[in-house]
Amino acid sequence: MKSIYDLEIIDLEEYFLSINEKKYKAKQVYEWLYKKRVSSFKEMTNLKKSLIEQLEKDFSFDSLTILKTEKGKRVNKYLFLLPDQEKIEAVLMFHDYGNSLCISTEVGCNMGCAFCESGRLKKVRPLKPFEMVLQILLVEAAIKERISHVVLMGIGEPFDNYDSVLRFIRIINSNQGIDIGARHITVSTCGIVPKIEQLSQENIQINLAISLHAPTNELRDKLMPINRVYPIEKLFKALKKYYDLTNRRITFEYIMLDNVNDSLEDAQALADLLRGINCYVNLIPYNETSHLQFKKSSHLKIMAFYDILKKNKINVTIRKEFGSEVSAACGQLRSTN
């Protein structure tokens, strides 16, 4: 049985028409789900009893369970139990501009990036749209505040679950749904070129972030296996096409790994690679884990790298460090308890 949280409003409209009901009832159901936040069809008091019974036959009210909440400085990490007993994590960051939730899109990840803790658990399965939607609803209920920004940068490669991710985005972006603005939604990918090309055709103004982490194929091949399939030349050809079609600035994520990708030569190579592209570089101090051999670049190295990009007129910032004290920082999430 399909979860009611899997449906876009257009799907509900088509459903109601198929059972000889008025399609405006889709808006009523969406209002109960996302504005009034009910947890059963019986609570939808402006629907007739026979329709409620039909909805109960056709759709389920699935839920996730928050197994554990860990709190750090301006950050919460949530461990969720899924209906099939698998587990995922999400991270809530309290910013000056609002509450940003970093959600997971898969149980495990097959991308195998060398520096990423999340990828140590191979992909078990993709998440369904409802399992992404409920990460937001349950966190909002827990903190009794609105989530204003959503980042698809938790466990999993979003473009390895493309169709469900796009359905999820349309659900949360809908005015009748959670109503999170497209420009407050960021999808991060390690560089699956065909899906970047597909996204450029979707006519949705979300933010695209590329996990780059190296300025050359030789180095990126060692850190990110995806680069052997879609090397930098193919990736940047797709990104140029994406920009030409969407006119949306592209973010590049660059994790600073000590004595791996943080030299002055690496900085200049990155500046040369990005010259002329409307982009923004996010330098990320590496979050060390007990399982992987990489170390964080020193503050001095990060600042020297930053200065070279600035001198080359590249828009760049250094990401504030969130959540490392509860293993909730970038690259640290796992499906653990």
Residue 179: strand, helix, or coil: coil
CB-based contacts of 62-69 (< 8 A; 24+ apart in sequence): 62/3, 62/4, 62/5, 62/130, 62/131, 62/134, 63/39, 63/134, 63/138, 64/131, 64/134, 64/135, 64/138, 66/138, 66/142, 67/337, 68/337, 69/142
- Report whether 154 contacts 89 (CB < 8 A): yes
Q: What is d(CA 153, CA 173) in angstroms, rounded to the nearest whole number?
A: 17
Decide if 102 is catalytic.
no
Q: For residue 108, what are its two tokens?
A: 């495990």
Active-site annotation holder among 102, 113, 116, 330: 330
> What percentage of the chain's residues is helix, strand, coil (to nearest 5)?
40, 20, 40
Decide if 330 is catalytic.
yes
Q: What is d(CA 174, CA 87) in angstroms, rounded to the nearest whole number?
A: 27
Query: What are the two backbone dihedrals, phi and then psi, of residue 79, each rounded to the nearest 5 degrees?
Result: -105, 120
Q: What is d(CA 272, CA 267) in angstroms, rounded to the nearest whole number?
A: 9
Residue 17 is inside which H or E element, if any?
Answer: helix 9-18
Q: What is the chain's Cα-based Rg? A: 21
Q: For residue 226, what are its two tokens?
A: 């995806």
Q: For residue 164, what are its two tokens?
A: 């469900």
Q: In 10 A of CB 290, how many CB atoms?
A: 6
- Give, as one character, the DSSP assignment of residue 35: I
Active-site annotation holder among 89, 117, 131, 288: 89
Residue 39: strand, helix, or coil: coil
Instruction: Give catalytic residues, as residue numbers.
Output: 89, 330
